[in-house]
Amino acid sequence: MPNYEELPECQLLSPPLLVPPLSATPNLVLYLSNLDDHRFIRFSVKYLFLFRAPSPPEVPAIRSSLSSLLVHYHPLAGRLRRSPADDAKLEIVCSGEGALFSEGFMDISADAFLRAAKSPNRSWRQLLYRIPGHDFLSTPPLVIQATHLNCGGMLLCVGMNHCVCDGIGSAQFLRAWAEMCRHPDAPLSVQPCWGREALRPRLPLKIQFPHPEFAQPDPDPCPEDRPPAAAAEPLVPVSITFGADRILQLKRLCMPLLKCTSFEVLAAHVWRCWARAMARKTVKLLFTADVRSRLDPPLPAGYYGNGFVLACAECNPEVLGHESICGAVKAVQSAKAAALSDAHVRSVVDLLEERRPMVDLGSSLVVTQWSRLGLERVDFGTGLPAHVGPISSEVHCIFLPVVGQPEAVTILVSMPESRAHKFECYLRDLADKEVEGPLGVIPNYQLTPVRS
């Protein structure tokens, strides 16, 4: 059974309130691009920061700076709605209603929370207030909860609607918020830009690429290509940190045949381990590719909307299971190169306009990278966070930053319970040597229990 470290009950200190922009903002309706509102990202991204005592951010200061910042980021103070012209499209009504802010207390210390931080679970959901009976559209795009700890520290959880901001845009907002809290009278170092019209579909639509990242109709599905029964099991989190030395070890496995980035080699390694643990015969790796600078013309500085497409790497089982990691790395590099062109991005936008396909999650591992967003440098004037992460690990594989180790990356993946131990074993081993063990074929090294 999973050994969850349940958090104690969070007690709200007062009813949640709305924080509106400090001054009047434009009253208008804003267009969302097809990269903003397709079904794959109709959810909120939930960031969690831990600030230690004795000097966590003060709630009045972060609330007043938030109000000031919403003058510049006024769409986040508005509300999503379905377009009257097209029920499948979403748009933002800049109503100035404000962000939802709540304040609570939890009887736990920062140290105790850090011990549990490798294993987010359902008890963490109470760290971000949820309006009873409200769905995705009726929930404010920006929801914040400050939870005081018994040691004097604070958990700050921020939920941001993915249709309004991608990871880079969210990080831009969070850094600006901290900047305004530190220097209330100074101008923002990065001026926000809406600019979604730059990603309107072409007329006529022109779909130039096959786009394997989206599910394709399968008239004759083969049983072995379907997700295994294990996919219906309870999911448990697996969390492993790769320091700079371990990442270098992975890169050396590719030398001298090819050079690769830390992301490319880590993504390839996680992909191979996931495929082996899940015993998948049809395997894709989907990962976000930032296209801001690759469009013609490039998206403007300060653009905080969704400026990414999903790159799709594919390998046949023989290449993915080969003893060398090089084949998987090459597939990641090829997928990234294919995604990073203006023509490819425009083709994605047009495809989403034509038929709004679903992302192929049935046979895919999805990797999203938080480790290079600068979240660990968000400082409200009282010091850097001691921990940065999500409040859930139930959707994708997330690459997380490690506070104090700029070159390190923490891998957080949720796995079916029966596959989690094997997956962690594969992740930890870098030599591709296998032996028979009680769980079947597993890497030859000292096994450690999975924390879930």
DSSP string covering 44-88: EEEEEEEE-TT-PPPHHHHHHHHHHHHHHTGGGGSEEEEETTEEE
Residue 214 belongs to some domain of the structure: no
* Residues 253 and 194 both lie in one domain: no
Residue 225 belongs to some domain of the structure: no
pLDDT at 315: 83
* Residues 33 and 145 both lie in one domain: yes
Find all residues with CB under 8 Å of 136, minimum gap 6, and list them.
Answer: 42, 43, 44, 80
- Identify the residue with better confidence: 323 or 116: 116
The residue among 159, 182, 199 that closes a domain is 199
Residue 212 belongs to some domain of the structure: no
Is this structure's pTM higher than 0.75?
Answer: yes
- Residue 198's closest CA among 66, 345, 326? 345
Q: What share of the chain is helix, strand, coil (3-state, %, to 5)?
A: 30, 25, 45
Distance separating the N- and C-terminal Cα atoms of the chain: 9
- Residue 419's closest CA among 226, 227, 285, 238? 238
Please say if the pLDDT value at position 230 is more than 70: no
Give how many domains the chain has, as a whole number. Answer: 2
- What domain range includes position 130? 10-199
Q: Please state, as a whole number, how many other Cβ atoms lie within 10 Å of the Cβ of residue 1.
A: 7
* Residues 195 and 234 both lie in one domain: no
pLDDT category, 320, cuts 50, 70, 90? confident
* Residues 181 and 292 both lie in one domain: no
* Residues 20 and 157 both lie in one domain: yes
pLDDT at 256: 84
* Residues 309 and 163 both lie in one domain: no
Confirm if 205 and 39 have CB atoms less than 8 A apart.
Answer: no
Query: CA 367 to CA 395: how far, in whole Å?
Result: 10
Tell me the per-residue pLDDT of 85-122, one tens digit each, with 9 for 90 and over. 999 999 999 999 999 999 999 999 999 999 988 888 88
Q: Please state, as a whole number, how many other Cβ atoms lie within 10 Å of the Cβ of residue 111.
A: 12
Compute the radius of gyration of the chain from its Cα atoms.
22
* Residues 249 and 365 both lie in one domain: yes
Q: What is the DSSP letter of 220?
A: S
Please say if the pLDDT value at position 433 is more than 50: no
Residue 208 belongs to some domain of the structure: no
pLDDT at 437: 31
pLDDT at 368: 94
Query: CA 282 to CA 262: how far, in whole Å?
Result: 25
Confirm if 64 and 136 have CB atoms less than 8 A apart.
Answer: no
Query: CA 274 to CA 262: how far, in whole Å?
Result: 18
Residue 291 belongs to some domain of the structure: yes
The residue among 144, 179, 199 that closes a domain is 199
Average pLDDT over residues 368-378: 95
Confirm if 152 and 56 have CB atoms less than 8 A apart.
Answer: yes
* Residues 170 and 268 both lie in one domain: no
Query: CA 449 to CA 428: how far, in whole Å?
Result: 12
* Residues 46 and 194 both lie in one domain: yes
Tell me the per-residue pLDDT of 128-176, one tens digit each, with 9 for 90 and over. 999 888 888 999 999 999 999 999 999 999 999 999 999 999 999 999 9
Residue 204 belongs to some domain of the structure: no
- Which positions are catalytic? 162, 379
Give the Å distances, CA to CA, from 300 to 102, 156, 207, 293. 34, 30, 25, 9
* Residues 20 and 144 both lie in one domain: yes
**Tally of CA atoms within 13 A in the half-sphere of 72 that contains its CB:** 20
Tell me the per-residue pLDDT of 31-77, one tens digit each, with 9 for 90 and over. 999 999 999 999 999 999 999 999 999 999 999 999 999 999 999 99
* Residues 388 and 263 both lie in one domain: yes
Query: CA 10 to CA 8: how far, in whole Å?
Result: 6
Residue 179 belongs to some domain of the structure: yes
Q: How many percent of the chain have pLDDT more than 70?
A: 89
* Residues 172 and 236 both lie in one domain: no
pLDDT at 430: 77
Query: CA 332 to CA 133: how far, in whole Å?
Result: 41
Q: How many percent of the chain have pLDDT more than 90?
A: 77
pLDDT at 219: 42
Residue 167 belongs to some domain of the structure: yes
Please say if the pLDDT value at position 319 is more than 50: yes
In CATH, what number is assigned to the domain containing residue 153?
3.30.559.10
Average pLDDT over residues 299-313: 97
